[in-house]
Amino acid sequence: MHIRVDDTVEVTSGDDSGSRGRVLTVDHAAGKVVVEGINRVKKHVQRSQRNPQGGRLSKEMPIQLSNVLLVCTACGAAARTGARHLEDGSKVRYCKKCSANIGQISPPKTSAAKK
C-alpha cells in the first residue's frame, strides 16, 4: 500500500472521478482511505448537548484504495507507484510515469545496500 496520510490522490471511479484531494486517514485492514472533500454524505443528527442545533451534518466516507491514484509531486500527474531500493539501502516510492522518487518507505539497511 503506497498511499499515506497527507498524500494528494486522484479518484479514478465513482461519482467523484477526476477530482483530487488530500488523504485524511488510511485503513490498512479494510483497504480504504478517507479523502478530504470526496465521497461526502449527509448524516442526520438529533439534538443533544453535544449538538444543540441538530440537523444534517456533511462528512467524508471511506473509498476503496483501488479507486484512487497517487499524484506525483514531480510531474503532477496521477500515476501508478512502485517501490525500489537506492544505493544506500533505503526503500523509496517512485512514480512509474516519470521515474521520480516520491517518498521514503524505510530507512537505509546495510543488507539491501548495493556494493
DSSP string, 97-108: TT--EEEEEE--
Give me the tens of pLDDT residue by residue for the chain, a chain 115 residues long: 689 999 999 999 999 999 999 999 999 999 999 999 999 999 999 999 988 998 998 999 999 999 999 999 999 999 999 999 988 889 999 999 999 999 888 888 877 777 6
Residue type, 88: D
Q: How confident is the model at residue 2, as a pLDDT?
A: 86
Q: Whole-model pTM?
A: 0.83
Q: Is 67 helix (H, G, I), strand (E, B) or coil?
A: helix
